[in-house]
Chains A and B, each alone.
Chain A
Amino acid sequence: MSIALETFSLTRRFGSLTAVSGLSLAVGAGETFGLLGPNGAGKTTTIKMLATLLPATSGGASVAGFDLRRQPGEVRRVIGYVPQLLSADGTLTGRENLEILGLLHDIPRRDLHRRVDEALEFMGLQDFGGRLVREYSGGMIRRLEVAQSMLHRPRVLFLDEPTTGLDPVARRTVWQLIRRLREDFGMTILLTTHLMEEADRLCRRVAIMNRGAVAAIGTPAGLKKGLRKPKATLDDVFIRCTGSQLESGGTYHEISRTRRTARRLG
């Protein structure tokens, strides 16, 4: 398998805090890879660096063959990004949200209508394209956002906590769509989550992050096996790796953002 995404000692410091510390990972083309960890483990910071939103303090990465530091413009052309927050614009319709982002991603106007129709249909939103997004449910907004991020057929897709705040039914729908993105388009997907079930179902491999570094890496089955405990779950692996850290993570800013997202989902 060829490598679609690779990081080399990727590091980010905020003042005295090291959010991501010497991260080295390789993700194969067409692989769905999960970054797991408690709040504050550095998952979002990693994704932001890889999506060219945050400069790395040291180290580097290669995304779809482009160097993150030297070719950020090329990287932006081949990636899709869904932020942790619910980021569709409620004052526009679903279709308009898609069209604007499609245009910003260099989709020619003559192809735009067809591409937007396809994306709406893929996400099961074809009957809602003309409605203002503020009338959407949380699950519909998430589906619209995934549609936004795949319009330009990115080779690497970054999903930052794609199902946080969603109810179980909406969550399952999003999971199905993520699977189809890989199966139909062969996209390489890097997602973050703190739901073990999500990682277990979607990811071929996962890395458990703690305090900015990788604490364990492997297939979900392999990690569970490594515990040598009957009926081990990924939760057990997670607790083993992160220990008592579990409850202490999360800055004020992160928590208030998570709560705001939850509130918008009603």
Chain B
Amino acid sequence: MRYPGPGAPPAASGDPVPPDGAIRFVGKTLVMAELEIRKLSHDATELVTRAFQPALWLLVFGQVFTRIRAIPTGEFRYIDFMTPGILAQSVLFVSIFYGISIIWERDLGIVHKFLASPTPRAALVLGKSLSAAVRSFTQAVFIYILALLLGVRINWNPLALLGVLVVIVLGSAVFSTFSLIIACIVKSRERFMGIGQVLTMPLFFASNAIYPISLMPGWLQVFSRVNPLTYEVDALRALMLEGAVSAYGIGWDIAILLVVVGVFTWIAAAVYPQVAY
């Protein structure tokens, strides 16, 4: 009794022929994003309810602080200054809780079927990042509409808008891969939600999202400089506002975000199979 060796021709007539590495990898990543879009097309309530929070920040917090001029923001009104920060906040909130979808898929056994398919682990992880970015895009549309109504000095140059999209993808990828790593380690909703809550506020407040870093005490400035959100906000501010310049350089911001995405994706792809144990 012998089994056919690895070089044996496929037994079944319909065995799919796999396409080449890179194309296949990108294709699989897009399939995961497609999955998210189809889900959202069946039920988009979550997107609408999520849009309330940035609306509150801009309409209440933004309006009040613009009026009292407590925070020095140079030639820009405070509402101009904070709008890119609130966009980054929305991306952060959508992405940092995105890992819960993995725990949900684990409890249902969906993740087991993904992992038993010939899809590279990193493509599954990046697909999840892209799915988080899809959700973030919808928030960006809401925020742009609000910004228009509030008279924010938006830069409508198509290249600048494209740049904003790229930064949103990178920002979503940074925090959703981070979230996936935590989810793969803790594996339960309750623990995950607890950790998510603990992380979100420090990441947000220890960044340049709603005030310049120069106002912070020294120790907090150090923390802000290692917080990826700071670089995301810096790039968004330079790209989103008419006449704004980046504090660190957009190229530098994007390079930092790319490196963080690379490292987090690598870690996430390594721990991802453990959710199926």
Contacts and interface: CB of A to CB of B under 8 A. Distances in A.
B116 A2 contact: no
A153 B116 contact: no
Contacts of A29: 3, 11
B276 to A, nearest CB: 4
Interface string B96-133: 00000000000111101111111100000000000000
Given A77-B18, A89-B110, A66 B1 contact: no
A86 interface: yes
Contact of A87 (B2, B12, B110): B110
A104 B277 contact: no
Interface in A135-149: 148-149
Given A6-B3, A62-B3, A148-B113, A53 B276 contact: yes
Given A91-B42, A108-B16, A155-B12, A64 B4 contact: yes
Given A3-B3, A54-B277, A76-B117, A91 B43 contact: yes
Interface string B12-30: 1111111100001001100
A79 interface: yes
Interface residues of A, number: 56
Contacts of A247: none
Interface in B1-57: 1-6, 8, 10-19, 24, 27-28, 31, 34-35, 38-39, 42-43
B228 interface: no
A2 B113 contact: no
A100 B4 contact: no
B116 A92 contact: no
A26 B1 contact: yes
Which of the four size classes fits the interface of chain B? Answer: 35 or more
Contacts of A69: none
A83 B4 contact: no
B110 A81 contact: no
A187 to B, nearest CB: 8
B3 A77 contact: no
Contacts of B5: 65
A217 to B, nearest CB: 15
B31 to A, nearest CB: 4
Contact of A83 (B11, B31, B113): B113
B262 interface: no
A221 interface: no
A3 B119 contact: no
B273 A53 contact: yes
B112 A53 contact: yes
A81 B19 contact: no
Contacts of A28: 1
A71 B6 contact: yes
Contacts of B35: 92, 96, 100
Given A85-B109, A100-B31, A48 B3 contact: no
Contact of A155 (B1, B11, B118): B11
Given A152-B14, A260-B107, 16 more contacts: A6-B3, A48-B112, A52-B116, A53-B112, A53-B273, A53-B277, A65-B8, A74-B6, A84-B109, A85-B107, A87-B113, A89-B110, A104-B28, A106-B16, A106-B118, A186-B12
The 4 A-B pairs of least Cβ separation, nearest first, read A87-B109, A85-B109, A83-B109, A153-B12
21 contacts: A4-B3, A48-B276, A48-B277, A53-B116, A64-B4, A73-B118, A83-B113, A87-B110, A87-B113, A92-B35, A92-B39, A92-B42, A93-B42, A101-B113, A103-B27, A104-B28, A106-B24, A149-B113, A152-B16, A155-B10, A155-B12
Interface of B: 1-6, 8, 10-19, 24, 27-28, 31, 34-35, 38-39, 42-43, 107-110, 112-119, 273, 276-277
